[in-house]
Amino acid sequence: MEEAAIGGHPNARNDLGVWEEDNGRIERAMKHCIIAANLGHVGAMETLKKGYSIEMVTKIDLEAALHAHQAAVDAVRSPQMEAAERA
Amino acid identity, residue 16? Answer: L
Question: Residue 69: its pLDDT value, please?
Answer: 96
Cβ partners under 8 Å of residue 29, min gap 6: 17, 18, 19, 20, 21
**pLDDT for position 30:** 96
pLDDT along the chain (87 residues), means of 10: 89 95 95 96 95 95 96 84 77
Tell me how far apart the alpha carbons of residues 87 and 78 are, in angstroms, rounded to a whole number: 14
Measured CA angle at 9 (ends 61, 24), to 5 deg: 55
Q: Which residue ranges make up each domain of the chain?
A: 2-86
Predicted confidence at residue 34, as pLDDT, reads 96
